[in-house]
A and B are shown apart, each in its own frame.
Chain A
Amino acid sequence: MKALILVGGFGTRLRPLTLSVPKPLVDFANKPMILHQIEALKAIGVTEVVLAINYQPEVNRNAQLLKRLEAKLEIKITCSQETEPLGTAGPLALARDKLIDDSGEPFFVLNSDVISEYPLKEMIAFHKSHGGEASIMVTKVDEPSKYGVVVMEESTGQVERFVEKPKLFVGNKINAGIYLLNPSVLDRIELRPTSIEKEVFPKIASEKKLYAMVLPGFWMDIGQPRDYITGLRLYLDSLRKKSSPKLASGTHIIGNVLVDETAKIGEGCLIGPDVAIGPGCVVESGVRLSRCTVMRGVRIKKHACISSSIIGWHSTVGQWARVENMTILGEDVHVGDEIYSNGGVVLPHKEIKSSILKPEIVM
């Protein structure tokens, strides 16, 4: 079985993290974002994943990382590169030859910014049972007008129509960005910039061949820092519900916390809730961490306090420093002792020697 992951562009909303690595390789819960999706696909028997990107894949560590993933997971990973932006449907046409084989099996389409439970096995069963041409996951949200709402028949899941950012309430289910499509869908997509929600799906819906399944569990588009941090909370919460042994425990742990086994935590710390500490990190004594992500190789010095922030790879946070309120540190950023950062967005390879008192970008 095959799958396509829509990766898209440079991930400008996740800068400064995406200045160092392409968006799919930004870590989430101690794993590259794309690995969450690839692992879920592998688990249900997908043998080949196509990454639809619209930037030049670098012939360096990123390509090597993909090769290593291929070998480790025993799954084939290829890239399909757009030369011009093709929207949300066009990339499927571009990758046509990779997605279609003689088996006639349906293929998955995932969105690389989305984190969820990935109930893909249930989705396959759903697709078979209704016999339609395409299945999509929908998720319930509090404020549907921010998104595209899917109006469907409750009992069968048959999709009636899509309404983009409705002014009046028409429903509270939105497109979750996870699709299971028959190969025939590809015949509907031309190789030009096309929107799947605006052009392709409405057509299939009018032929009563599009069905929607409500996504059980959490869903989050983690393409921007605020949602990334919320997404971590939801993800760790789902681990807790499954009683995952990956969650840390101890007198110094509050709530849901993920700590890589190669990370070191000093004495007198208080970690959590909703914290992920990556490989090789050193958290010295007397440190307070909450609602934050600490990426690979970071050192947090004594008595520092970090909340609601993302600390990029190999950065350091100085003694008695305070980092909070959506501070994002890029790769290799060094925050001096006693410094305060209130929502600073710091580009890679910088030293912060004076406090950032209000949210601002530090080049």
Chain B
Amino acid sequence: MGSSEESVVAVIMVGGPTKGTRFRPLSLNIPKPLFPLAGQPMVHHPISACKRIPNLAQIYLIGFYEEREFALFVSSISNELRVPVRYLKEDKPHGSAGGLYNFRDLILEDNYSHIVLLNCDVCCSFPLPEMLEAHRSYGGMGTILVNKVSPESANQFGALVADPVTNELLHYTEKPETFVSDRINCGVYIFTPEIFTAIQGVSTQRKERATLRRVTSFEALQPANRSLPTDFVRLDQDILSPLAGKKQFYVYETRDFWEQIKTPGMSLKCSGLYLSQFRFTSPHLLASGNGSKNATISGDVYIHPSSKVHPTAKIGPNVSISANARIGAGARLVSCIILDDVEIKENAVVIHAIVGWKSSIGRWSRVQASGDYNAKLGVTILVIIIKLMTFLYEPGESVLPNKTLNVSVQDEIIL
């Protein structure tokens, strides 16, 4: 079986506007998958990772957004990475596996040997080529990427138990109340086309059960028995859990970083993780400078080529500056994402913040948060067009009362 015969298709689940409400307010302005991390849209990172797979032939993005929201991105990235990328809109919810199944005709069109399934809001190093090798050696229906987490946090995810020698998946439980395992499901999978048969099996079983089984009226009220639509198939509960221990699924463990990008605070943390990864994968993307000709750069920083940064400013660590931004003399940026068309004036300081499109931060202003990515207000977000005047009175400018600004920076959500 020559590997030149095999070709691989990748499917990335991108969600929809009604999902991922925890990403508000950023997701009010832009689809979450297109929000920039380390200077590139969130979904760009898994797509680039897929490109490293030998014989990758096609990438599909599946979600609930309108097609026009992804049209521009899809055509531009297809050109950039020279691989066909296509967006498919789901008409109704099919569950995490059902979505894949829904488009099976398209996906199986070209006899792909393997299907890579990814979740867009996962931030990790995506070791796909290595995972594919492992999958081939296991010979199963699917291989799941797993990561080790602290026992206290394990119950927020899907917990897996695997054989330490064969790496076979022995047990899978979604968000268990008690401790099952400290290895969790990363949301990255590699399947062989047999997976579609398995999904169809679930669908058929459900159809049969619905017609044959008689339940008491009490049983009928139990959540487990509430009839799901027959084409709604969840990967975790309906496929992995029942088939665990049957030599069908295997695990591949990553020791690298892994995070879920559910909140704006996490997007700042993940942007930093990707920036630090650039140091190894794409160092040319990172900025450098020592204050003589270019601004002083500390740590990992991305600056879009169209943005202008004054040489007396100091940027970093963990800063990503998008297009057409202007950073004035003596400004200081630490741990922040600066979006398009932002203007940061002289001597302003921005720490632990996301500064939204077209915002303007006045001279000597300060925008600062605690930097606790998980805290509700650990990161300051200025989303809508916000014009921050300087804190202090300047002749000819209107004054923003100092107290309000302090409060809004530290403790409040301002609509």
Q: Real complex partners, A and B? A: yes
Query: Beta-carbon contacts of A316-333 to B below 8 Å, as 1s and 0s?
Result: 000110101100000000
Given A268-B330, A338-B334, A303 and B347 touching (CB < 8 A)?
yes
Complex Cα gap A170–B322 (Å) = 65
A contact face: mostly helix, strand, loop, or mixed: loop
The residue from A268, A322, A324 contacting B329, defined by CB atoms under 8 A apart: A268
Contact between A305 and B347, CB atoms less than 8 A apart: yes
Complex Cα gap A338–B312 (Å) = 15
Q: B294: CB under 8 A from chain A?
A: no
Contact between B334 and A288, CB atoms less than 8 A apart: no
Q: Which of B149-199 contact A (CB under 8 A)?
A: none
Contact between A357 and B347, CB atoms less than 8 A apart: no
Query: Beta-carbon contacts of B391-411 to A below 8 Å, as 1s and 0s?
Result: 111110000001000100010
Contact between B330 and A340, CB atoms less than 8 A apart: no
Given A322-B366, A340-B368, A286 and B329 touching (CB < 8 A)?
yes
Contact between A302 and B391, CB atoms less than 8 A apart: no
Closest to B349 in A: A320
Complex Cα gap A259–B390 (Å) = 24
Contact between A288 and B330, CB atoms less than 8 A apart: no
Contact between A254 and B395, CB atoms less than 8 A apart: yes
Given A268-B329, A286-B329, A324 and B395 touching (CB < 8 A)?
no
Closest to B366 in A: A322
Q: B351: CB under 8 A from chain A?
A: yes
Q: Which residues of B contact A307 (CB under 8 A)?
A: 391-392, 402
Distance in Å: Cβ of B412 to nearest Cβ of chain A: 14
Q: A145: CB under 8 A from chain B?
A: no
Closest to B370 in A: A357
The residue from A290, A302, A340 contacting B393, defined by CB atoms under 8 A apart: A290
Q: Which residues of B contact A325 (CB under 8 A)?
A: 402, 406
Q: B300: CB under 8 A from chain A?
A: no
The residue from B346, B349, B393, B394 contacting A322, defined by CB atoms under 8 A apart: B349
Complex Cα gap A286–B332 (Å) = 12
- Interface size on B (CB < 8 Å)? 23
Contact between A303 and B391, CB atoms less than 8 A apart: no
Q: A47: CB under 8 A from chain B?
A: no
Contact between A342 and B334, CB atoms less than 8 A apart: no
Q: Which residues of B contact A320 (CB under 8 A)?
A: 314, 332, 347, 349
Distance in Å: Cβ of B285 to nearest Cβ of chain A: 26
Given A307-B391, A307-B392, A324-B391, A338 and B351 touching (CB < 8 A)?
yes
Contact between B330 and A302, CB atoms less than 8 A apart: yes
Q: Which residues of A contact B410 (CB under 8 A)?
A: 357
Which of B392, B393, B406 has the most CB atoms of chain A within a 10 A radius of its CB?
B392
Q: Which residues of B contact A288 (CB under 8 A)?
A: 347, 363-364, 390, 392
Q: Which residues of A contact B312 (CB under 8 A)?
A: 286
Q: Which of A159-186 contact B (CB under 8 A)?
A: none
Complex Cα gap A288–B347 (Å) = 9
Distance in Å: Cβ of A226 to nearest Cβ of chain B: 15
Complex Cα gap A340–B334 (Å) = 14
The residue from A290, A303, A357 contacting B392, defined by CB atoms under 8 A apart: A290
Contact between A286 and B346, CB atoms less than 8 A apart: yes
Given A288-B347, A325-B402, A303 and B395 touching (CB < 8 A)?
no
Q: Which residues of B contact A340 (CB under 8 A)?
A: 366, 368
Distance in Å: Cβ of A296 to nearest Cβ of chain B: 24
Q: Which of A272-321 contact B (CB under 8 A)?
A: 273, 285-288, 290, 302-303, 305, 307, 319-320
Closest to B332 in A: A320
Complex Cα gap A270–B394 (Å) = 9
Complex Cα gap A340–B351 (Å) = 11
Q: Which residues of B contact A268 (CB under 8 A)?
A: 329-330, 346-347
Q: Which residues of B contact A324 (CB under 8 A)?
A: 391, 402
Contact between A338 and B332, CB atoms less than 8 A apart: yes
Closest to A269 in B: B347
Given A268-B330, A303-B330, A286 and B347 touching (CB < 8 A)?
yes
Closest to B331 in A: A303
Contact between A305 and B366, CB atoms less than 8 A apart: yes
Given A268-B330, A324-B402, A305 and B395 touching (CB < 8 A)?
no
Given A286-B347, A320-B349, A338-B332, A305 and B402 touching (CB < 8 A)?
no
Query: Beta-carbon contacts of A329-363 to B below 8 Å, as 1s and 0s?
Result: 00000000010101000000000000101000000
Distance in Å: Cβ of B369 to nearest Cβ of chain A: 10
* Interchain residue pairs with CB less than 8 A apart (30): A254-B393, A254-B394, A254-B395, A268-B329, A268-B346, A270-B363, A285-B330, A286-B312, A286-B329, A287-B347, A288-B363, A288-B392, A290-B392, A290-B393, A303-B330, A303-B332, A305-B366, A307-B391, A307-B392, A320-B332, A320-B349, A322-B366, A325-B402, A325-B406, A338-B332, A338-B334, A338-B349, A338-B351, A340-B366, A357-B410
Please give 17 more A-B residue pairs, beta carbons under 8 A apart, in addition to A273-B393, A286-B312, A342-B406. Answer: A254-B393, A268-B347, A285-B330, A286-B329, A286-B330, A286-B346, A302-B330, A303-B349, A307-B391, A307-B392, A320-B332, A320-B349, A322-B349, A324-B391, A325-B402, A338-B332, A340-B366
List chain B positions with a Cβ less than 8 A from chain A: 312, 314, 329-330, 332, 334, 346-347, 349, 351, 363-364, 366, 368, 390-395, 402, 406, 410
